[in-house]
Chain A
Amino acid sequence: RKEVEQDPGPFNVPEGATVAFNCTYSNSASQSFFWYRQDCRKEPKLLMSVYSSGNEDGRFTAQLNRASQYISLLIRDSKLSDSATYLCVVNANIVSDKLIFGTGTRLQVFP
């Protein structure tokens, strides 16, 4: 089983739609969770951290479910500019500073 698993997509959605991505992680001792965004041929950039209580930033909401070991990202009112690959990122374990990156979920928003 991969340490971090994501549906690669692509998710093709119209502008204004709501779309959600899930990501599962294998190590129950992981403590840090993030969503990064990567545009085509660009470097990854932090979108948001994921806290136990959930985290909302404008149209973006991230949630953590420790019992089922998954994190989610919800994007409301999708914009064309949201088209990108979204990487789920988890720290390897409680004593490690290493981050494990998922392979990403590709989102394409069309007019």
Chain B
Amino acid sequence: DVKVTQSSRYLVKRTGEKVFLECVQDMDHENMFWYRQDPGLGLRLIYFSYDVKMKEKGDIPEGYSVSREKKERFSLILESASTNQTSMYLCASTLRPAFYEQYFGPGTRLTVT
């Protein structure tokens, strides 16, 4: 059974803190994604990665960075958390972007106070 896991389901952080969200997939997929989901805005792509050590900016990369040191692990970093980064963060992986199913993790609900 395919699986994408995320390090936390719920996270509360203070403004200015550095936040790490981790995602691990066990499907040997090369392609991994980070999205955020907000009411009325849908899923928006933050960053994606086609391979180890490779990363591409998505539509809303400002305030975020990523790390892909191993094929199965894709980390999202909030360098200095702000209240407007309060959101649901979803990680996904796929065999081939745009043509194959994207498998999502359960999400991390991040609250920045």
A interface residue numbers (CB < 8 A to B): 4, 8, 31-32, 34, 42-46, 87, 91-92, 96-99, 101-104
- Quick check: A97 and B98 within 8 Å, CB to CB? yes
Given contact pairs A97-B97, A98-B58, A98-B97, A42 touches B106 in the complex (Cβ within 8 A): yes
Is the contact region of chain A dominated by helix, strand, or loop, or is it mixed? loop
The answer, yes or no, to whether B101 is at the interface (CB within 8 Å) is: yes
| B87 CB to nearest A CB, Å | 14
Q: Which of B40, B41, B97, B105 contacts A99 (CB 8 A)?
A: B97
Q: Is the CB of A98 within 8 A of B42?
A: no
- A42-B106, A43-B90, A43-B107 known; A101 and B98 CB under 8 Å? no
Also in contact, A99 and B42, with CB within 8 A (given A43-B104, A43-B107, A45-B104): no
Whether the Cβ atoms of A87 and B102 lie closer than 8 Å is: no
User: Helix, strand, loop or mixed for chain B's interface?
Assistant: loop
- Cβ contact within 8 Å between B41 and A103: yes
Chain B interface residue count, CB cutoff 8 Å, equals: 21
Q: Which residues of B contact A (CB under 8 A)?
A: 31, 35, 40-45, 48, 58, 90, 96-99, 101-102, 104-107
CB contacts (< 8 Å) of B43 on chain A: these are 44, 87, 101
Closest to A49 in B: B101
Closest Cβ of chain A to B30, distance in Å, is 11
- B104: nearest residue on chain A (CB-CB)? A43
